[in-house]
Structure 1
Amino acid sequence: MKKLKIKMTITAVLAVTLFIGSCTEDLLEENPKSVFTPDFFQSESGVEGGITALYTHLRFLYGAWNFYNSTETGTDEYTWAQSADGNFKDMDLSGVGSIISTSAPSAGPWNACFNAINTASGIIENAEAVGIEEALVSEARFFRGFDYFLLVQTYGGVPLDLGAGELQFNTSTNRGSVRNTVPEVYTRAIFPDLLTAVENLPDTPRLTGTVTKNVARLYLSKAYLTYAWWLENPNNIPTYPEAPRTDPDGHSASWYFQEAYNIAATAIDNPGPYTLLEYFYDVHWAPNDRHTEMLLYADHTEESAIYNGADLGFGISGAEDNASVWMATWNYTTIRSSGASTVQREAAQSYGRPWTRMAPPVNVFEETFEEKDLDSRYDGTFVTTYRGNWDKAGDDTPSYLNANDLPVEPGDAILSFLDENNPAVVYPSDAGASNVGAGVLAGRSDFVIEPGAISRVVYPGLWKLGTYRTDNNGGLGSPNAGLTRPFPIAKFSEFYFIAAEAAVKGAATQSSKSARDLMNVIRARAGKWRFDNGEQEERIEDNSDALVNETPTTIDVDFILAERSREYFGEGYRWYDLVRTQKWGEIAGSYRIAGTNYGDHTLVTVSRTIEPFHYLRPIPQGQLDSMEATDAEKAAYQNPGY
């Protein structure tokens, strides 16, 4: 059989290269560079530029609509919404489309990660010759391990040889190679790189946002955890390329669960500059971005279009735009009060640009976030109240008549999503006075919608990832631009979840670090309030004891997955969590939601067809089309079922 070639053109021609800025600025400085060639890495500035480019490649995934869609749609957190096209309906597996090799959502990691892997290999090969210290080289080792980990979770076994040899820098324009097995990718690439990174990275960031020892520990512990599940394979999910569920190094699944626990526990005991914030609200409160709980993020800024990676005035939801939250934002600007547009598009965390591509099912509000009063995470995740902002658009009308013909002023609630179902709510038969089919409650001036009346067209927005600008100057600002906030990728809090999951899977635990102990740290924090997002007022309240007392005596995987959803809802974790634990079909196999028309509040139960082969995404068709190979060889390269 002739050797297949993997085309790596973008590693030879890279659109943007980033250079490390001065230590006085303590930031990564970005400057355009057109090419990456072997001689480019044979200088100190070249190696440093390549390292900085590894940080910018995160923006092609985290915040990008296609990758975000692939991580959320089709899970218990999101389904397709009223304005969804095939890219979103396909991912839902609910009979309105099917995942295919030409779809953009599935291709994101393949297209972004191999470019970064090749850049990292070029840095690693040349760093010693140009006198770059290992601590800096280990940033490249981290990203190579990080990207291979994302790839193996998404596609199964992937190539370690990009054309010049295993884990070697490649400049060939041919596409190449044979896919390695899952155990080979973990044991030859992911684990060695991340172990070296843990050993050599500093405890504190070299510059704002750069990786550290604990960032590497997080991904090493998570990789151990994920690989342990893969070895155990409790539901007989197939792998590809086919390989025995045995470890080349002779370790068992139990060994890897234990290692995952040990590393996570070590990080908890040695936090360095990281910590859990006191309040969940502050983790996603936009003025507090880049805080000490955040381990890794894809950075953006409103200071410069170059450093932002996208235009500051108008976004296209492409390239490096941070536009994920648009997909989960319904068209709230349709709301009317006596015919007036009282809630207008604004560059503010509760509003932003509405695309109505993804909707949370009713199950999210009646099951996952059933507890809305004690637990602050519901309030710190969703937009539950849409308030009048017509004054910011230059309309000086002092008030408008809203629900029950009662007056509302700027800043008042125009439409609210209720915490609980209420039989006293009266809905119109169509779009009604609100123009979006919202109901009324006697005596209330705001229109209301119950959790059990959420539809594919009207639903709570995702506050935690919402827009934030400081240049609105009292007006609506620039709500059509991609977000200038960093997109969160990893947080210190996940160490508690990783250790707890490993403990549930049999890892021996340390004193005060049982699965229940670890989950109660997270739940105790969730019980603390300092601000009520829905009511937009201070709320000093501590329900920690009540939440801790409600924690089950025996923690299982289902409880941890539910807690993970409450903690990380809508942040791109969910598909990987359900695939790792092989719970996707069980947890997300059906959901309830109303239809696509304003005023439709009739719930239907929708079933998904999640086959075992869906646990791997298809290899992108563009990869197959560019390969110099026979049809049979291309078919063998593709994951089965696609």
Structure 2
Amino acid sequence: MKRYILRRIIIGSVVLFSFAGCSDILEEKPHDFYEPGYFKTEQGVIQGLTSHYAHLRWIYGQAYYYNSVQTGTDEHTYAQSADGNFKDHDLSGVGVINPTSSRADVVWNNSYNDINTASGIIENGAAVGVANSLIAESRFFRAFDYFLLVQNFGGVPLDLGAGELKFNTKPSRSSKRNTVSEVYTKAIFPDLVIAVNELPDAPRLTGTATKTLARLYLAKAYLTYAWWLENPNNIPTYPDTPRTDPDGHNSQWYFQKAYDIALEGINNPGSYGLLDYYYDVNLGANDRNKEMMLYADHTEESEYYNGASLTYGSGGSPDNFAGWMGTWNYTAIRSKNASGASVSSVQRVADQFLGRPWTRMAPPIEVFTKTFADKTNDSRYDGTFTAVYRGNWNLKGTGLTDVTTLFNANSLAVTPNSAILTFLNDEPITAISYPSGAGDSGVGAGVLPGRSDYVISPQGISRIVYPGLWKLGPYRTDNDGGLGQPNAGSTRPFPIAKFSELYFVAAEAAVKGATGSMTARNLINVIRARAGKWRWDNNGNMAKNADNSILLTSATPAIIDINYILAERSREYYGEGYRWYDLVRTQKWNELAGTYSIGGSNYGQHTPQLVTRTIEPYHYLRPIPQGQIDLMEMSDAEKAAYQNPGYNN
């Protein structure tokens, strides 16, 4: 195992980074060769430290990892153009997760190099004059990576060849997995406690780690470990070990710790805080706002700093291309010109509402009928989805810039920026007239009397036509009145940690019995109060000054349960890569995602089909990647024992 890891750290073609003199950003400097002795220099430690932030790009925004934590949950199923990467993770009978197909391999393959880098910095930093506050960033990232690994795979190795949590410089091809409790109590908790104590209150540079960020991850780790100790649905762990804590604490002790640390973060926010409006949290023009505490960064300013092309998306790391997966082929929408010919009225453009279509992941109908049932008062639906597709045929480069009017549903005239296709908030009183196939709209959308826009209701959502994910859509300032670069990966930072999650962690711990100055209802109502405030109707494309905070907070149940917390988490973080972790942590995966409804894979198929997933207890852990198993020099029996149960067939 270690040779596989170390090849990436020591002799691989690796991009390292250094700090830019007086700048407040991280400056990247490529190195083709990175040998272990480099950590015994101040420059080596600093460049290795900065590489922590670069490694985030290889996981977050990587679409296949994104698929692994979204598809198969109550937030996503596979879409019409999905391949096996997506169908396997749906667990609905169209594919099987196995050690070769599991895309959790992205976590395995990109965490250990960063862990070993962190260990090198922790061991050598002080000796070469690096401040404890900088070394604490490596403490944070080593815990961050181990937390990702343990949630995906269960117990994982703490010894990479030189001893537990030691910097390893010599390749080794054997390995031993530690237990889940050992990973938490020997690695994650100690590193995060030190990080909380030694990191600064405010980020040293834009986007770097702070006390508040470390508190969030320590609270999340305590919360997740508490659930693991409790194990309410008797889900197996691996390596097999008693669900007991080596320090003698029970699950309730850890739920309380999660609550206490989360409250510390809320009460000592540093430079972070909640924005006034949910819309602004995910608005492209407002990226890197005070609510975003950690992100995988990108920029449109240069390919060098972006880490990927600004004009073409490769469909691989380190591009930020996760947002493509839930973008259906809206470019197939058609209207008619004055001569009656069909033309493309919604063209592909680098715009947050649109972007590059891949049609790999689709939201089930229940997302719109249950999770986001209130689309009028709660602003989070409008701040999450592209529900209205507007005409843009007049942009430069389309060949239609001189066309002022097209004809759409009911042969009614539309002009640029008119609604061409609308996903309705609710089922209309008058039945929608849908075509049997693609119809005049080109995408099987229906019509309602008197409306010039084609329409689809929540019950008409299918695997081929569905609302887009506005919150992850691209944002560019260089379109210059044209289509821009819609085929490039997104140049936006991919969000990883938000200040708002401290409220959710504390609320979940409170539901599980933790006590303190704020109840679960108090905590959730801070989030719901913000959700009720509107300054802009995103899909209506107009100003909206509304405050529904009292309405939303008064509707919050007096007694909140875990299902309510999970529903609120989905409304807040839909499509951001949280969902599989949430359902696995709380052991609610079967209950909340075991069935779903959606229409067919062809245009015009709007009749919902009920789909049942087969989620076995062993699915709560991902398989160790087959490539890792193959590289180890161990006996077949040892390799079989190394793999998580259920995946050796």
**TM-score under structure 1 normalisation?**
0.98
1:66 touches 1:104 (CA, 8 Å); kept in 2?
A: no
Q: Specify which of 432, 441, 445 is matched with residue 438 of structure 1.
A: 445
The structure 2 residue matched to 1:384, chosen from 387, 392, 400, is: 387
- Which whole-Å deviations, capped at 9, do the CAs of 1:451-495 have from their partners, x for residues lacking one? 000000000000001011010001000000000000000000000
In the alignment, structure 1 residue 571 sits paired with structure 2 residue 576:
yes
The alpha-carbon deviation at position 36 of structure 1 amounts to 2.4
* Of 391, 397, 418, the match for 2:403: 397
What secondary structure, in the 3-state scheme, does the structure 1 residue paired with 2:420 have? strand
SS across alignment from 1:115: helix
**More moved, 120-129 vs 445-454:** 120-129
* 2:262–2:502 Cα contact (<8 Å) kept: yes
**What is the one-letter code of the residue matched to 1:401?**
F
Residues 74 and 596 of structure 2 are in contact (CA less than 8 Å); yes or no, is this contact kept in structure 1? yes
SS of residue in 1 equivalent to 2:98: coil
1:419-441 deviation per Cα after TM superposition (whole angstroms, max 9, x unaligned): 00114311112111001000011
- Residue number in structure 2 paired with 1:450: 457
| 1:16/1:53 contact within 8 Å kept | no
The equivalent of 1:127 in structure 2 is 125
Distance 2:519 2:358 in 1: 43
Percent of aligned pairs sharing the same letter = 65
1:355-391 deviation per Cα after TM superposition (whole angstroms, max 9, x unaligned): 0000000000000000000000000000000011111
Residue 104 of structure 1: how far off its partner (Å): 5.1
Match runs of 1:129-208 below 5 Å = 129-208=127-206
Which of 622, 633, 637 in structure 1 is aligned with 2:642?
637
> Aligned equivalents of 2:356 and 2:168: distance in 1?
41
Check conservation: 1:162, 1:176, Cα contact below 8 A: no
CA distance in 1, matches of 2:241, 2:435: 58
| Structure 2 counterpart of 1:429 | 436
What does residue range 231-250 of structure 1 map to in structure 2 within 5 Å? 231-250=229-248
Pairing 1:340–2:369 present? no
1:414 corresponds to which of 415, 420, 437: 420
Q: Contact 2:161–2:171 at 8 Å: present in 1 too?
A: no
Matches of 1:631 and 1:4 in 2, distance apart?
18
Shift of 1:35: 2.5
**1:25-424 aligned within 5 A:** 25-103=23-101, 105-338=103-336, 339-392=342-395, 393-395=398-400, 396-422=402-428, 423-424=430-431
CA contact (8 A) 1:456 1:594 kept: yes
1:21 deviation in Å?
A: 2.8
CA separation of 1:449 and 1:104: change in aligned 2, threshold 3 A? same
Letter in 2 for 1:474: G
What is the distance in 2 between the residues matched to 1:70 and 1:626? 23
2:523 equivalent to 1:525: no
- Name the CA distance, whole Å, in 2 between partners of 1:14 and 1:122: 17
Q: C-alpha separation between the residues in 2 aligned to 1:262 and 1:13?
A: 43
Distance (Å, rounded) in 2 between the aligned partners of 1:99 and 1:502: 32
Which residue among 596, 616, 624 is the counterpart of 1:611? 616
Amino acid at match of 1:586: E
Residue 482 of structure 1: aligned partner? 489
Output one character per residue of 1:467-525: Cα deviation in whole Å (capped at 9) or x when no partner: 11010001000000000000000000000000000000001121xx1000000000000
Q: Distance in 1 between matches of 2:13 and 2:417?
A: 44
Aligned mates of 2:567, 2:13 — CA distance in 1: 40
- 2:418 maps to a residue whose letter is D
List runs of 5+ in structure 1 lacking aligned partners: none
SS of residue matched to 2:195: helix
Does the CA contact (< 8 Å) of 2:174 and 2:634 recur in 1?
Answer: no
Aligned position for 1:9? 7
Aligned AA (2:106) = G
- Superposed CA offset, 1:242-300 (max 9, x none): 01000001111010000000000011111110000000000000000000001100000
* Residue 23 (structure 1) shift: 5.3
Task: Specify the code of the residue in structure 2 equivalent to 1:595.
Answer: G
Q: Distance in 1 between matches of 2:213 and 2:16?
A: 21
Aligned partner letter, 2:389:
Y
Q: Is the Cα–Cα contact under 8 Å of residues 427 and 438 in structure 1 kept in the other structure?
A: yes
Contact 2:68 2:102 survives alignment (8 Å): no
CA 1:5–1:333: 2 relative to 1, 3 Å = closer
In the other structure, the counterpart of 2:339 is none
Task: Measure how far apart 1:409 and its partner are.
Answer: 0.8
The Cα of 1:173 is off from its aligned counterpart by 3.0
1:37 CA displacement: 1.6
Unpaired segments of 5 or more residues in structure 2? 337-341
Q: Is the CA contact (8 Å cut-off) linking 1:4 and 1:628 kept in structure 2? A: no
2:2–2:171 CA contact under 8 A, matched in 1 = no
> What does residue 470 of structure 1 align with?
477
Task: State the shift of 1:578 in Å.
Answer: 0.2
CA distance in 1, matches of 2:584, 2:25: 36
- Equivalent residues of 1:7, 1:626 under 8 A apart: no
Is 1:312–1:482's contact at 8 Å kept on the other side of the alignment? yes
Amino acid at match of 1:22: A
Match of 2:394, SS state, is: helix
Give the distance between the partners of 2:114 and 2:354, measured in 1 at CA.
34
After the TM superposition, which residues 491-570 of structure 1 pair with which residues of structure 2 at under 5 Å, given as runs?
A: 491-510=498-517, 513-570=518-575
Note the aligned Cα RMSD (angstroms): 1.1
Maintained 8 Å contact 1:530/1:538 = yes
1:4 and 1:288 mapped to 2: Cα distance?
42
2 CA distance for matches of 1:67 and 1:169?
27
Alignment partners' CA distance in 2, 1:29 and 1:4 = 29
Indicate if the aligned counterparts of 1:238 and 1:613 stay in contact, CA closer than 8 A. Answer: yes
Distance in 1 between the 2:5 and 2:276 partners?
A: 48
Aligned residues: 638
Return the offset for 1:14: 4.3
Structure 1 residue ranges, 4+ long, deviating more than 4 angstroms after superposition: 3-7
Do the aligned partners of 1:6 and 1:163 also contact (CA within 8 Å) in 2? no
Q: CA deviation at 1:4?
A: 8.9
- TM-score normalised to the size of structure 2? 0.97
Q: Which whole-Å CA distance do the structure 1 matches of 2:141 and 2:19 have between them?
A: 20
Cα pair 1:5 1:163 within 8 Å, conserved: no
SS at structure 1 position matched to 2:525: helix
Deviations along 1:37-91, one digit per CA (max 9) or x if unpaired, are 2211111111000011010000000000111000100000000000000000000
- Label 1:260 to 1:218 Cα distance change in 2 as closer, same or farther (>3 A): same
